[in-house]
Structure 1
Amino acid sequence: MTTDRPVPSAPLGTRVVLRYRLPAGYSHPMTDVIGELVSVEPVVAVRTADGRVVQVAPSSVVALKEIAARPIRVSEIRALEHAAAAGWPGLELDWVDGWLVRAGHGFSGRANSATPLGERGTVADPADPAVRARLREWFAARGLPVRLLVPDRLARIPESWPTSDPVLVMGADLANVPVPPEPVPVTVTAQPDAEWMSLYRGGDTPPVARDVLGAVAAGILAFGRIGASGQPPLAIGRAAVTDAPDGRRWVGLSAVEVAPEHRRRGLGTLLCGALLKWARDQAASHAYLQVTEDNLAARAMYRELGFVDHHRYRYASEPVG
Structure 2
Amino acid sequence: MSSIFRSDAPSAGERVVVRRRYGEVTSDVIGHVLSLDPLVVRPQEVGGYPSALDAIEIPAEDIQIIKRLSPRMVRNSDIRAIEVASARANPAHPQAWSADSQWFMRAGADPCAIPLGRSAAFAPPPLAEITDFFRAAGLPVRLLLPERLGRAAEKFLDTGWELGPEEILVACKLDGQSSGQPGTSSGSRDSSGTHSTSGDSSGGRLGEDGAGKLWLEVSSHPTQSELTATLAWAQSRGATGAFARGLTLPGFSEHHRYRYATMPNSR
Category of TM-score, reference length = shorter chain? 0.5 to 0.7
Q: Say which SS state the counterpart of residue 144 (structure 1) adopts.
A: coil
Partner of 1:273: 228
2:134 to 116, 127, 139: 139
Cα distance in 2 for partners of 1:123, 1:92 equals 26
Higher Rg of the two aligned structures: 1
Q: Say which SS state the counterpart of residue 159 (structure 1) adopts.
A: coil
Partner of 1:184: none
Q: Which amino acid in 1 is paired with 2:94? A: E
Distance 1:122 1:175, change over 3 A: closer
Structure 1 residue runs without a partner (length 5+): 1-32, 38-67, 181-215, 225-236, 258-267, 292-297
In the TM superposition, what is the alpha-carbon distance from 1:162 to its structure 2 partner? 1.3
Partner of 1:13: none
Q: Which amino acid in 2 is paired with 1:313? A: Y
Q: Which amino acid in 2 is paired with 1:115? A: I
Contact 1:220 1:242 in 2 (8 A): no
Structure 2 residue runs without a partner (length 5+): 1-44, 50-69, 180-193
The answer to which structure has the higher helix fraction is 1
Distance 1:274 1:121, change over 3 A: closer
Cα distance in 2 for partners of 1:288, 1:120 equals 24
Output one character per residue of 1:252-296: Cα deviation in whole Å (capped at 9) or x when no partner: 110346xxxxxxxxxx111111011000100111101111xxxxx
* Match runs of 1:149-298 below 5 Å: 149-155=144-150, 156-157=153-154, 158-160=157-159, 161-175=161-175, 217-224=195-202, 237=203, 239-256=204-221, 268-291=223-246, 298=247
In the TM superposition, what is the alpha-carbon distance from 1:154 to its structure 2 partner? 0.5
Query: Normalising by the residue count of structure 2, what TM-score does the alignment of the two structures yield?
Result: 0.61
Partner of 1:87: 89
Cα distance in 2 for partners of 1:121, 1:99 equals 7
Q: Which amino acid in 2 is paired with 1:271? A: E
Contact 1:80 1:244 in 2 (8 A): yes
Output one character per residue of 1:130-175: Cα deviation in whole Å (capped at 9) or x when no partner: x322211111111011000000101232222211112211110112
Contact 1:100 1:117 in 2 (8 A): yes
Contact 2:146 2:258 in 1 (8 A): yes
Partner of 1:315: 260
Q: Say which SS state the counterpart of residue 276 (structure 1) adopts.
A: helix
Cα distance in 1 for partners of 2:259, 2:220 equals 19
Moved over 4 A (4+): 33-37, 121-124
Cα distance in 1 for partners of 2:166, 2:205 equals 22
Cα distance in 2 for partners of 1:144, 1:35 equals 41
Distance 1:121 1:91, change over 3 A: closer
Q: Which amino acid in 1 is paired with 2:208? A: D
Cα distance in 2 for partners of 1:78, 1:277 equals 25
Name the Cα RMSD after superposition: 2.9
Cα distance in 1 for partners of 2:77, 2:220 equals 27
Q: Does 2:114 align with 1:115?
A: yes
Q: Which amino acid in 2 is paired with 1:87? A: A
In the TM superposition, what is the alpha-carbon distance from 1:82 to its structure 2 partner? 0.2
Partner of 2:75: 73
Q: Say which SS state the counterpart of residue 92 (structure 2) adopts.
A: coil
Contact 1:117 1:123 in 2 (8 A): no
Distance 1:90 1:36, change over 3 A: same
Q: Say which SS state the counterpart of residue 145 (structure 1) adopts.
A: coil
Aligned residues: 182
Query: Normalising by the residue count of structure 1, what TM-score does the alignment of the two structures yield?
Result: 0.51
Distance 1:311 1:272, change over 3 A: same
Distance 1:35 1:122, change over 3 A: closer
